[in-house]
Structure 1
Amino acid sequence: MKRFFFSLLWSLVGFVVKVPKCVDPPEVDFGEIVSDSEHRFGDTVQYGCNLAYTMSGSAWITCIGSKWTSPPKCLAPCRIRKLELDMRKLLLSKSRSRTLSVLHGENLEFACKQGYTLIQPSVRKCVDGYMDFPLCILAKGKNCGPAPGISNGDILSLNKKVYSAGDFVEYKCQKLYALDGESRSFCSDGRWTAVPKCLSPCSVTEKDLATRNMMKKTTSEQIGYLQVGNSLEIECRTGYILEHGSDFKVQCGKDEIIYPQCTERCELSTKEMAENNIQLFWTSSMKQIFGSHLDTYEFTCRSGYTEDPDSSPFRVPCLKGKMQYPKCVTLKAVGKCGPPPPIQNGDITPFFHMEYDSGTSAKYKCSEFFVMKGSETVTCQNGAWTNPPDCFEKCVISTKEMEKNNIQLKWRFLNFLFISPDSFEFTCKSGYVKDPKSSPFQASCLRGGIKYPKCNILQLCTPSQEIMKKNNIELTWSSYFRKLFSSQLNTFEFACKTGYGSDPKSSPFRASCLNGKLEYPKCT
């Protein structure tokens, strides 16, 4: 209800001012838009994640001005394979070993096979498709020789010539070098487990910052080298501003230095805006406003002014600190108009003149049994009238046609008699989906007639256990998700059973439901 009245409000003021639109909503990996809109100011869009992916952030984004709020992320589940567990000598709870999937954020407890000892914590968390497995070693077995050394690091204890199975040494990196991997290496049946690496620090100088139009935030702070994982707080130099999406930090990454972006800022000139008779579209406030490179501003004419025919666009981007302002002129500076244009099935009210000054208006009224589309008011601008309205026969929604086409009104509280020719929206009834050849679901009353969209019955897919067995495949997700097969899924992911490999001529292992049918991959 709230959304409807908000849209209705904008449809009323839309005849007087231009309402900017947002660009198409951003794409989301492993997800899709499940509820779309017209992308006008205040409209919302809803996202949904693929099966077994976990959403991070709000599912809804909003069109603000000409930009969308930040979209959510779809975080991947962790796929734990039996082969990998066997290689690492790991077991799941109750001494089981099988392939399964774990949702992002969920924990999984491990144990070691008989004869092996668990060294690291047994409970691990799935983080966006990645899980750090614990370590199993042979507590009894062959001895090991001296522990291996590492570059730019040292062993904290005296390196012995012989170590017993189960012994360990601990490593430490030299100053400013960062440890990558486990700090301890264990003797397991004559072999040392993986040793860590010492990652080199990042070199950051004041000259590097200056060339990027930034400087360190605290003048007393010494810079030169940053350890991997550490950061340096900065601020943009005078006349520059941080770009959207950046952070006020220089970060030393594992493989690169990540710098924020400081670009020349745009300061809206109140003097130039006053000279050009313009103001910001959303506010008449003339407070000091700064923007960064590629930020876009929407302008409109001040009261009593109209767009100059030779003006530059009223939607202006900030380009490296510079802006090209549009221009408005006084209404009296442009030509006068003759009588307003006549319309069918309507008249000018209460009467018309033979001559109109620029900026003055006239109103129309439709004849009985006709409704108006467009603004009832026309205005004389630059010697020409704005577009007059049209008068159409009233429309009546046919419940019979709606039932026949398996559709219903999106806004169920509306009456069936429509006295406005503006567009209105349909949606499929429960259990039906849009016909590929259907006309648009947002329909308009065209001279008393409506072109109705069409929906077909939803055909669901349920994976065939018989075909899966024949093709030596299985669903990648555990039985936890199989209860969802009766819902409206349209994509399934398969994997080869243990001991089988992908057939070279197999169809893709990610299959979509098309008209109730699935194309199954094959393993041999």
Structure 2
Amino acid sequence: MKPSRSFQVGNTTTYGCQVASQRHKDLQGRDNMSSWWMDTNPECIMACPKPADKSIVFSTTKPVALLEEKVLFECTEGYESINHTRGGQAVCTLNGWSPKPQCLLIECETPFLENGSIYPRKDQYANRDVVKFSCMRGYTRVGPDSAQCYHFGWSPQPPSCKEKVSHCQQPPSISHGNLIGDLHEEYRHGEKVFYECDIRFEMAGSNTVECVDGEWVSLPSCTEEEKICGPPPNITNGHPVNVGNVKYWHGETVKYECEGAFVIVGTNPAKCLRGQWEVPSCIGDSAKCRRPKNAKFVPYAPLAKMFDNNRIVNYICGSSLHRTKCIHGNWSPEPECKEHCPLPPQLPNALNNIEMKNYKSGEKISFTCKEHFLLQGPQKILCEDGSWQTPPRCIDAEGRCGRPPPIENGDVLDNLMTEYVSGATVHYKCLRFYRMEGSPVIHCHDGTWTERPTCTEACTVTEEDMRHNNIKLKWAVGSKLYLESGRTAEFICKRGYQADPSSPPFRTTCIDGKMEYPICIQTPQA
């Protein structure tokens, strides 16, 4: 519509902006004047709107960023930035975002297996996709039977298919550790041996070592563990036996036994692990088992049905029939039809402490980055229905900061990120009635956060406190007073009472949530 060239007194009009975001004010004609009246001058401010992309999470909840404002962002699970990182930083400029916040789907190319096949077969695989490997008849698989797609590619690395494979000689010895079981002159491809560490030493890596085409892989090491355990604790309906030491080293064990008709279940003997006891439990001999959710019993049984101790039942997985037994409240073997996960990912720049075994759905693994690298993402991931959750990344810690440190009695105001670039800031606030000591803003500087604030506890003055000491507030403020740390309050004696000669001052200061009350005693009768 064509705008009017003249307006009557009392008419209003609206200004609009041509940039990404705007502020505007209505203007109104004023009586007996040939000018416009407004409460404030209208203005247009350059701003950058947040992209409407569900794969991007921003560090701010504001819908727009102002000119020259920096914003951090992270990619959701299964996506990564164009720089192959978990997220990044963008600046609002006159030309829009620089660089443009963008998260791309994590993909892996189809792996190649000569003399073998891959299932399922696709042109492109996405994050968390799992493929299984098999070799042609007459060929032996050397390597894993499956692999998963991650942000850094396939892990574990795909196998090869060989016509001939070599045997292994006796496995090597390790310092402060021993091989479990008898030694053989020769081991076939695929055979495994197990190691254990001496008392006071903890294993780094898997205790399982496999013969792969003539070589032993994933040899562990044993490092000294200084944490110790105290005397083993008693357990419900049971106790440790032959306890003679006050302290126990990592790896030492103590046997437990149950009372009366109770049966021991779990790790026995108990073991001291990194300063904590791993103890069994004692349950009644008549403990029953409940049908698990993930198993189809034959004949059909509802979830609520209980099975007696030593009862043997059948269950179906796919087209196969399996058998399990109820032993003191637990199924053995555990009825489970879910697929196993591939070997956990060999995360770049992370310490290798992966155990060479089949991982069932529900099991977790944790990650530790090498020195000078920062863990970005969850420390633990879960095996879910045949694939691992998206793992973290170990990034070069130089100039970058991890999550800001928490403070007692306070919270971070901003949306938390897993990684912050140098120069990034985070704001804190204290809980109600707590006083902040220090700056509410901390900065990421060369990989380290500046000093965080503290929240000092308030003092609470109640009627009960004052009645107990026969005092009242000099200035009436109600039945309860919250006093920040460092603030003072002044009291007086109630009518009929006088100051105790040994009383603290009647003007007292709250210090870290504590304050000393004055004391009044009854006035002697004349």
Q: State if a TM-score over 0.5 links the two structures.
A: no
TM-score, with length taken from structure 1: 0.28
Please state which structure has a larger fraction of its residues in helix: 1
TM-score, with length taken from structure 2: 0.28
Please state which structure has a larger fraction of its residues in strand: 2
- Identify which of structures 1 and 2 has the higher relative contact order when contacts are C-alpha pairs closer than 8 Å and 6+ apart: 2
